[in-house]
């Protein structure tokens, strides 16, 4: 009996066994997650994580596929490009006013799916969490663009205009500006640039014909996701810079600000990003972008510096420093974006954290770059996920 009692004395309790079992399961699951290719990122040979466009889930087929009847439509340069650039700068000084640091977010819901109730909910919530700028996707305009001329196309265009106008009006009444956003990975490729210019021309025409106006136009093209990128990086990036440059000229007679979204690895800090030449200058994609966007007053670059920690090695501050320092020598502003969507790996998103924690990390970013003239504020991807943070 004594031996039996002695054994009972050291017999593990049920709660202890449960704790150990839970710990083992947690370790196994953690290793399994770490081994998985992350959702929302593309694995590459250089091991640089490439963020996948969130719009994949919502993008219209007409923004992805190439319509043969339009592929030969190309950008027609102005006969006096220099005059257009000067006109752009002068006009921008009158129209594009400094609004303080950016506090932006994205809305991916297709325009024609935005109901009056949804519009009120989004704008009310955006205002309550401090959003000042909404980037609304107009990719779905391409569904109208490819239609044959006729009453049906005119009716859809009218409905598209009215829905967008109503959104801008309500946003403006709540102190929020609205930018048109569009883009897909192949838009800078030969035969696909017509899509970029179709949507940019829509935004230009919209502002010319409506009292409720877009503040700006934004590209979210992300060509590093193309299949040929790994083997032809310089050529892919060159096409992208050309598209942005041509778009600057296309915008020259408009009152739209211009913004371009890029990942954080378009600089020399990433071994996987090559230098290449454009207009007799050699540099990285970020160098060429800054030079091109400086042609248009009020331009901004949004850097996807997706980390859920701001300080230390590989934090959002560290991975944004190169772009900020480079831009300090230019007129173009840098906006630092953070992620709240449900994506992997966990360290790139504030999903399953809290708004208080997100605010603490963005406060660190603001403090780190408060003395840099190029720092243009923050953006949070994306409004629906941001709203869910408690």
Looking at residues 3-11, what average pLDDT do you find?
44
> Among residues 68, 132, 78, which one has the least CA distance to residue 104?
132
CA-derived radius of gyration, the chain: 24
The stretch 88-117 carries a mean pLDDT of 75
Say yes or no to pLDDT of 376 above 90: yes
pLDDT > 70 in the chain, percent? 79
161-211 pLDDT per residue, tens = 999 999 999 999 999 999 999 999 999 999 999 999 999 999 999 999 999
Q: Is 299 exposed, middle or buried (0-12, 13-18, 19+ CB in 10 A)?
A: buried
- Cα three-residue angle 248-65-47, rounded to 5 degrees: 75
Averaged pLDDT of the chain: 86
Segment 290-298 mean pLDDT:
97
User: Rounded CA gap, 303 and 288, in Å?
Assistant: 15
- Range from 7-11, 126-130, 170-174, 194-198 carrying the lowest mean pLDDT: 7-11
- Spatial contact of 137 and 190, defined as CB atoms under 8 Å apart: no
Q: pLDDT, tens digit, for every residue of 357-369?
A: 999 999 999 999 9
| Residue 39 or residue 136, greater confidence | 136
Compare 272 and 329 and report the one with higher pLDDT: 329
Whole-number pLDDT of residue 58: 75
Please tell me the predicted confidence (pLDDT) of residue 82: 36
Q: Which residues pair with 361 in a beta bridge?
A: none
pLDDT of residue 71: 86
Torsion of CA 347, 349, 352, 357, to 10 degrees: 90
As a whole number, mean pLDDT of residues 6-29 equals: 54
Confidence of residue 51 (pLDDT cuts 50, 70, 90): confident
Give the residue among 207, 251, 242 at the shortest CA–CA distance from 88.
251
């Amino acid at each position: 009996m004594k031996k039996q009692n002695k054994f009972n004395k050291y017999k593990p309790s049920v709660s202890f066994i449960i704790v150990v079992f839970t710990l083992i399961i947690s370790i196994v699951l953690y290793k399994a997650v770490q081994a998985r290719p992350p959702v929302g990122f593309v694995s590459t040979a250089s091991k640089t994580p490439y963020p996948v466009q969130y719009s994949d889930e919502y993008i219209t087929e007409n923004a992805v596929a190439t319509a043969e009847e339009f592929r030969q439509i190309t950008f027609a340069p102005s006969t006096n490009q220099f005059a257009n650039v000067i006109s752009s700068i002068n006009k921008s000084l009158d129209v594009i006013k400094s609004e303080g640091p950016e506090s932006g977010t994205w809305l991916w819901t297709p325009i024609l799916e935005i109901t009056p109730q949804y519009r009120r909910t989004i704008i009310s919530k955006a205002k309550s969490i401090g959003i000042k700028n909404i980037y609304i996707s107009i990719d779905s305009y391409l569904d109208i663009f490819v239609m044959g001329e006729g009453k049906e196309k005119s009716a859809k265009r009218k409905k598209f205009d009215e829905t967008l106008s109503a959104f801008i009006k309500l946003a403006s009444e709540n102190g929020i500006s609205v930018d048109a956003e569009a883009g897909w990975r192949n838009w800078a490729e030969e035969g696909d640039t017509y899509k970029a210019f179709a949507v940019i021309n829509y935004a230009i025409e919209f502002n010319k014909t409506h009292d409720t106006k877009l503040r700006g136009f934004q590209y979210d093209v992300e060509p590093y996701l193309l299949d040929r990128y790994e083997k032809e990086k310089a050529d892919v990036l060159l096409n992208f810079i050309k598209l942005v440059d041509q778009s600057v000229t296309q915008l020259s007679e408009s009152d739209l600000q211009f913004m371009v979204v890029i990942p954080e690895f378009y600089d020399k800090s990433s071994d996987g990003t090559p230098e290449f030449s454009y207009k007799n200058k050699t540099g990285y994609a970020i160098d060429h972008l800054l030079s091109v966007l400086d042609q248009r007053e009020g331009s901004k670059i949004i850097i996807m510096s997706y980390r859920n920690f701001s300080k230390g090695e590989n934090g959002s501050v560290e991975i944004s420093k190169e772009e900020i320092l480079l831009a300090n020598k230019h007129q173009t502003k840098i906006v630092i974006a953070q992620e709240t969507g449900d994506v992997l790996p966990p360290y790139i998103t504030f999903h399953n954290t809290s708004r208080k924690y997100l605010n603490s990390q963005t406060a660190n970013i603001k403090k780190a770059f408060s003395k840099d003239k190029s720092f243009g504020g923050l953006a949070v991807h994306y409004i629906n996920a941001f709203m869910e943070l408690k």
